[in-house]
Amino acid sequence: MNYEKKSLANRIGFWVVLGIVFFFFMFPLYWIAVSSIKTRTDVISRVPSYIPYTQFQPTLDNYTSILLGTTIESDTGVRASADLSVFRDRLTNSVIIAGLSTLLAVILGTLAAYAVSRFHIRGESDLMFFILSTRMLPPIVVLIPIFLLFSNLNLRDSYPGIILLYTTVNLPFVVWMMKGFFDEIPVEYEEAAMIDGYSRLQAIWKIVIPEAIPAMAATAVFSAIVAWNEFVFANLLNRTYGATVPPWLNSIIGVGAVEWGRLAAASVIFVLPIVIFTFLVRNYLLRGVTFGAVRR
């Protein structure tokens, strides 16, 4: 067979597969985005419509209603019973809780990982396994103990409680990821810095952390996604003060008529911060994830 032809066929095949994969992953997102700008009638129409302006007239009502808290009389006469005006508060809570817990998990986990990577610790592999083992339990199993614990410690319906919880959930992941990265960073860098006249902490801050930033960014993205999406504990622990978006999304499905348009609008807004964060650190992300996989 002609090499050129084979190569052309290969390339076409490549793009076809890529197209299918792209469609497979992106279509749900597109559907949500499109639904968020439909009127109530369009969104529940039996004939699906995909393209704004040609197939349906787009509207921003869903966004204004959930962001400004204005209640729009729906055309069926049924009022959405879930309180739409709390969305903004919920979103703020989600940002604060996911942000702080990610920050804490990455800082604490990075320091722990550095220590495990650089110093001789008795039973190091057992310790690392213990840290990992905290992730092996399905979270739902500890739901009731955590609920009782938080009730007794007065941590329910508060920022510190849920932030602490998410930090704890993400720490093992951060420790494991970062230890892998630190193992890859030659010890000589710090040793050179210490000989050059710096303390170990200065050496870490000036030399090791700049090296670890891609890894920290990658780890932060994954931690943030976990904290951002968490539903079960958020639903149970923070019902009023410090309540996050995921349980709220669920609640507007469950009560009365489903407000698909607003649900879609809320979902789009909810997805945006993670998309933006991932986009900002995308350059670090690939390096972070493939760190150690490629010989430098």
Q: Do 156 and 150 contact (CB within 8 A), yes or no?
A: yes
Q: Which is nearer to another protein, 178 or 264 (CB)?
A: 178
Is position 159 an interface residue for another protein (rule: CB under 8 A)? no
- Least separation in angstroms between residue 199's CB and another protein is 6
State the DSSP H helix or E strand holding residue 61, giving kind and residue range, or none if neither: helix 61-68
* Nearest CA-CA partner of 256 in 65, 45, 91, 84: 84
Interior angle at CA 159, CA 154 and CA 161, nearest 5: 45
Considering the rule CB under 8 A, would residue 194 count as an interface residue with another protein? yes
Q: Does 176 bind another protein (CB under 8 A)?
A: no
Q: How far is the C-alpha of 266 from the C-alpha of 32, rounded, in Å?
A: 10
The residue to which tokens 């469950």 are assigned: 254
Residue 239: phi, psi to the nearest 5?
A: -90, -25
- For another protein, the binding residue among 146, 193, 204, 281 (CB under 8 A) is 193
**Which positions from 79 through 98 interact with another protein, judged by CB under 8 A?**
none
**In the complex with another protein, which residue's Cβ is closer, 18 or 195?**
195
Instruction: Enumerate residues 200-259 that contact another protein by CB under 8 A.
Output: 202, 207, 210-211
By beta-carbon proximity to another protein, the closer residue of 166 and 291 is 291
Binding of another protein by 192 (CB under 8 A) = yes
- Interatomic CA distance for residues 56 and 59, integer angstroms: 9
Closer to another protein by CB, 207 or 227: give it: 207
Of 88 and 200, the one with the shorter C-beta distance to another protein is 200
Nearest Cα to 291, choosing from 24, 113, 138?
Answer: 113
The answer to the question of residue 191 lying near another protein (CB under 8 A) is yes
> Given the rule CB under 8 A, which residues bind another protein?
186, 188-189, 191-199, 202, 207, 210-211
